[in-house]
Structure 1
């Protein structure tokens, strides 16, 4: 029996942005936004990419969709290396991977009705005949919880949550296999976040889609993701299942991120684990482990030991060579400290939602 192949795979991806050149045009100063990142996405899976601002997670999302060209490495989509495709060939493959951005209003053309915005990818990729486009637009609107008659309205006539559902409908229009959600709910109220996330989960179950979910909100990531990739300063520092990351984090940076989540119970006994100092410049990242300048457990060897993701037999990988010598994570992250009861209640309330019922709450 053959193993299931990943629907999307990144192999040693690198992206460097040139910020200064010589008079002859040679790179003189570069930002190392992404360096040596390898990860895979299985069919029907949600892989979350988390980390603080500037770590390179959004750059990875754009590299995976080939909105920007990688400096090195490859991206394999459904068994095909898309980084080697010509622009014409990539145009035919682009329908397979779509994006949902953070700001839905900026994602939509204010001069186009939402019906026109959703019909545009249907036309560009010739998904359905012209005579059936209006019917398909109506089906997509109903799928995301809007009415077919909303197709004639403009983006400014909708709330933020409704606009994000329009963007999701447009992403679904070319019938993709992968959707990259780049901070797709961070600009929404908590109650609307729960609706949008449950909508994404419902669509995933119905259509068998795979999601790359980029976020800084770990409470949201805990609810929606199957696996979590943690990034720091352009490199992956930990990769594992959601249960592994939230119950037994290995890398000090992951532990610091989780301990920064506000405690759900006031005055609960909890030992926090913070980082010291500021984020180093991506122009000149520290040698060895890139976290050693801020890590409370750093030792002399961390200044020279390469930052390499090492995987355990079960598939949990982390880039800390001394993680087994750290204090137990259970004392650092009690259950009361990593749950968000308000978000839990909202998710429970919307678990049995119907798309039509969401219209008036956005």
Structure 2
């Protein structure tokens, strides 16, 4: 006997029984559901259905837009309008959808490192991607590990949502491409030391141009370089070279400081001595010219009256000499011996 002929295997327990009536099944379940309702009346069931519908409408129609964002409303997937911050209504049950876009918030993307607690999945690199995106080759065929940050805002939420697929991820690719291009045009010394500001400015301009070209709806505000290091195998040697260069610059600055301190002082002393010599020269020349003029004038008067001039010169000389002599002895021309007139003891005790 086959399994099909076995009445125990028949789900309807035999071929003689007919299939259950669907109306009877629905009526039986509806009767049981009414017994669950308070009062068990059909009106209570209608009220419960209305309450559920109203709750569904309120849950799916009300939404709140934060103060730093706008909502982009779509109806069956088609863009309708932008909604400002606040409490708003939309068509319920998925007819209208509202996507919140933070247009007033400054966002950032980090390359080579990650800030803990970031909510944006595209803010920080994933896994080994961070180590890969920092490895760059400079223009002089050296390697460098470059870390940087891009700060941006969403300027046009419609373009941000609908023009480019995954605009945040696209921005990461654009930023990495531009930074590799800018770093590849410079030497490793410029990248690590003196060329940081130029790299930031050039990268910012190129990123802004590409974001405008790709219609990403993003406004890039700043590109800031963080840590820039040589590869780890040569990092210690590079630090020693960098330290030696810094020591060299330090010694050069100290030498310039001493030069600026000593040389102006020496130049000032030189000018002072030259002016003193010029003054002394003019003084001696003027004195010599004055003496010459006085002698010539005296000689002219001497020629006119030799005896008178000679006597006047003699008297003027005595007037200049005699006040300096403390003791004076005046004798007659006929006196031959002056010893009786000299008091030698008094002369010896007198002060010079």
Larger RCO, structures 1/2 (Cα 8 Å, 6+ apart): 1
TM range (shorter): under 0.3
Structure with the bigger percentage of helix: 2
TM-score by length of 1: 0.18
Larger of the two Rg values belongs to structure? 2
TM-score by length of 2: 0.19
